[in-house]
Structure 1
Amino acid sequence: MIDQLMRAAWPALEEVPVDGWLARFSGGVTQRANSVLPLAAPVDLDRALTRVEALYADRGLPAIFQLGPDSEPGTLDRVLAERGYETGSPTSIQTAKIDGVTRPAGVAVAEAPDQDWLDLWWAVDGRGDADALSLAVKILTGGPALYATINDEYGAAAVGRLALVGEWGGVYCMAVRADVRRRGLGAAVLAGLHAAGRERGVTRTWLHVLAENAAAQQLYARHGYAQVSTYHYRTQR
């Protein structure tokens, strides 16, 4: 279920089914939107791998697989390693219930990202030029979501996104400007997203955080998040 929630919350610009898998393409912007989601075991694994690699090569991209405990077949990680794929970005998927949350003062929430929101998020977490940002905006706005911002005299100081998928909300794009970190702004944005999501019927949220990001892990633990799954990527060399 969590794979499908994440798929809806961060939609690729193009999806191609490959014998039980979904090959996703978004011009190379973000691994998630440019990777294979291996939902079911192919009838012919070698043929499926060859097809996937050709699809990505046709678009000038390396083949990437997003792999978790439910990836099929269960031997896929080993098979890709033997094929020379490199592993990376081990990530923790965490969930939390939200109830009785009030929006902190100073947190503005909108249904679309404005330029200040985009500029801060891209400055902190973006990879690429203006064309890459344009593709990222298409991914961000590919489904319903809420966008939280805390402003100060210099503009956006902290931002975050909550994708809306039924009663679930997905926390994405948490970013705090470098000069105002460690002041509780990330926590305020998260609480603001929780409160705004609750107003729209969200009862549970999920997020994913790199396993190496201890500071973020501590922040999310204080808000009731606990790990429910993991994933990592395998990238063709």
Structure 2
Amino acid sequence: MPPVISNSWIGRRIVVRRVVGRGDDGRILFGDVVGDLLTVTASTARIETRSEVLDVDLSHVATAKVVEASAAEVLALEEICLRGWRPEESGEIGGWVLRANDGFTMRANTVLPLKPPGVPLDEAIAEAREWYAKRGLPLVFSIPTEARRLLDAHLQELGWEPSLDVHVMTARLDVLPVSDARFDIEVQLGSQASDEWCTLYKAGGMPPGGVALLNRHDRAIFAQVRLEGQLVAIGRGVVDGNWLGISAVEVAPSARRRGLATSVMSALSQWGRSNGATRSYLQVMSDNAPAVTLYRRLGYWVHHDYRYRTDPDSTPRQQGHLQPGPDDAGS
């Protein structure tokens, strides 16, 4: 019986080992196919390699598995995510990116270690601590856990406690499952985040720095759904390169379980494709089971995880100045 190639793998890179013939001595010869899974039936898997699209006979397959993202791919996607959520201020210590946005959102007020800092680690941490202290902020790292596992382990040894584990989920836009978005729902798209939009996104409203962050992108779109004149669902999309970044998908409590989030996601995906995006990413808290389930159903999978670690020497005042928000999960 051939290995099972799951429908949940569609859009992901896989490696398939298949029988390609027999040698002169009668031994079975195998060959590997590596590429994105486009479709799978009971008998055939269609795989897009770097050079061609192949239909692989499943009866010839010996093994098959998903190829997990490499450290280089994780860091490349983190850089794309950085471009999609742009802070007011940024700095660098070698390959570390320092971000500050007056405390609004963890994502925009943390260190992203894309590359080595270029100086001894303790020296780099001290320099980063001073940079954030000047802005009244705690020193917090956003750490892609596998790609930067040595740094993560070092901070653990120093007593930096972890918080807010986050999935970065991705999808290939041209092979998303058929959407079950409601056809009777109109999703409106606009180029700016209105005050009303921001109020639904973050209850109680947002500071000016938060509104500016949302609008600080030259290829951003803001989706919204109204029912009986009331704003009940929103979402934000940005395009960087061939990536669509989706964030701030929110539904008013009174309007949940009506498929509105699915409608918003579908509209953002269509907009992304029309603006040159071929892939999509979003960020969601790993313990937000309903959101993770929704995104998996819509064709997304976990590309990698990251977590935040906070400097134990940060003062309570600094820590209180940081404002975690729903955007930290992009949901």
* Per-residue deviation, 1:117: 1.4
Does residue 115 of structure 1 match 2:195? Answer: yes
Q: 1:60 corresponds to which residue?
A: 136
* Per-residue deviation, 1:138: 1.3
| TM-score, reference length from structure 1 | 0.91
Distance 1:90 1:38 in 2: 16
Aligned AA (2:101): S
Which of 3, 8, 19 aligns to 2:94? It is 19
Does residue 189 of structure 1 match 2:269? Answer: no
What does 1:61-210 align with in structure 2 at a 5 Å threshold? 61-68=137-144, 69-71=146-148, 74-99=149-174, 104=183, 105-123=185-203, 132-143=206-217, 144-210=219-285
SS in 2 for 1:186: helix
Aligned AA (1:121): Y
SS in 1 for 2:295: helix
Aligned AA (1:45): L
> Which region of structure 1 is more displaced relative to structure 2, 4-13 or 16-25?
16-25
SS in 1 for 2:86: coil
* Per-residue deviation, 1:154: 4.7
SS in 2 for 1:33: coil
Distance 1:189 1:29 in 2: 24
Aligned AA (1:81): Q
Unaligned runs of 5+ in 2: 1-75, 313-331
Q: How many residue pairs are counted as aligned between the two chains? A: 229
**Larger helix proportion, structure 1 or 2?**
1
Q: 2:304 corresponds to which residue?
A: 229
Aligned AA (1:133): P
Distance 2:104 2:188 in 1: 27
Q: 1:126 corresponds to which residue?
A: none
* Per-residue deviation, 1:93: 0.8
User: For each residue in 1:13-71, what CA deviation from the matched residue of structure 2 results, as whole angstroms up to 9, or x when unmatched?
Assistant: 11111132111111111111000011112331110011111111121111000001323
Is the 1:107–1:148 contact (alpha carbons within 8 Å) kept by the matching residues of 2?
yes
Aligned AA (2:250): A
Q: 2:324 corresponds to which residue?
A: none
Structure of greater Rg: 2
SS in 2 for 1:117: helix
Q: More relative contact order in 1 or in 2 (CA 8 Å, sep 6+)?
A: 1
Distance 1:146 1:86 in 2: 36
Is the 2:87–2:99 contact (alpha carbons within 8 Å) kept by the matching residues of 1?
yes
Q: RMSD in angstroms over aligned alpha carbons?
A: 1.8
Distance 1:70 1:45 in 2: 17
Does residue 49 of structure 1 match 2:125? Answer: yes
Unaligned runs of 5+ in 1: 124-128
Is the 2:171–2:279 contact (alpha carbons within 8 Å) kept by the matching residues of 1?
yes
Is the 2:98–2:109 contact (alpha carbons within 8 Å) kept by the matching residues of 1?
yes
Is the 1:122–1:133 contact (alpha carbons within 8 Å) kept by the matching residues of 2?
no
Distance 1:186 1:147 in 2: 13
Question: Identity over aligned residues, as a percent?
Answer: 34
Distance 1:156 1:83 in 2: 46
Distance 1:227 1:203 in 2: 17
Aligned AA (1:47): E
> Which region of structure 1 is more displaced relative to structure 2, 34-43 or 173-182?
34-43
* Per-residue deviation, 1:218: 1.0
> Which region of structure 1 is more displaced relative to structure 2, 16-25 or 173-182?
16-25
